[in-house]
Amino acid sequence: MTISEFKEKLQILHQTLFPKESLDNQEVEQNYFQVVSPFVKSPNDTIYPFFALLEESESSIEFILNNRPADLFMVSKDHLFAYDPMVYIKIKEQWESFEFNLTTLLLTEYVHWIAENTDSKLEFRLEGYAMYVPIKKHWNQFFNPFSYPDKIWIGKELKSVILIQNEISMLKCMARDAETLQTAQMLLEES
């Protein structure tokens, strides 16, 4: 995914869930971290930051996501403006390929971060594939990276976003407000 495609996806997610104008820092040449920055700024002290660590060295950017505090990730600065750089994870003091691109990690963890910081949400365990019937009927698949366990579905008219975490069989639904969340919950219970 290009930097401009990544920015567009973040804007769509933000506009779906938040009635405010889209966020953008308007810089012409941005890397992926600069693009995500305005979307993950904490408006107050009750919301924990998206990055627990974001440290730049001469050759790389190392980061820890608050949703995944045990994982230290790294992206090479040489590839930061390239098409969707590969992410590395530190395992036993060695950098190993995380096998997923930076946008996959940032988009799915951004939606997870929103779910952890919003009041208009519901979550429950996925009990089989019957749940996909109402999801496919009322939401559109927004981001379904090949072989990555987390998937994002969006309901633009419903003003809601669903994160499916396949590894732990969890569904998290976030909505613009309590009324919209109630509608989403009713639709999800159709199965």
The order of strands in the sheet holding 121-125 is 121-125, 170-175, 160-165, 150-155, 140-143
Q: What CATH class is the domain 118-188?
A: alpha beta
The CA distance from 167 to 130, in Å, is: 17
pLDDT at 44: 60
What pLDDT sits at residue 24? 58
Residue 23's pLDDT is: 59
Q: What is the pTM of this model?
A: 0.90
For 22-60, write each residue's pLDDT tens digit: 555 566 668 999 999 888 876 566 678 899 999 999 999
**What does the pLDDT read at residue 83?**
86
The residue ranges of every structural domain in the chain are: 3-107, 118-188
Q: How would you write the pLDDT of the chain (191 residues) with one tens digit per residue?
A: 999 999 999 999 999 998 765 555 566 668 999 999 888 876 566 678 899 999 999 999 999 999 898 999 999 999 888 888 999 999 999 999 988 899 999 999 999 999 998 889 999 998 878 888 899 999 999 998 777 889 999 998 899 999 999 889 999 999 999 999 999 999 998 76
pLDDT for res 128: 78
Q: Say what the pLDDT of residue 21 is.
A: 59
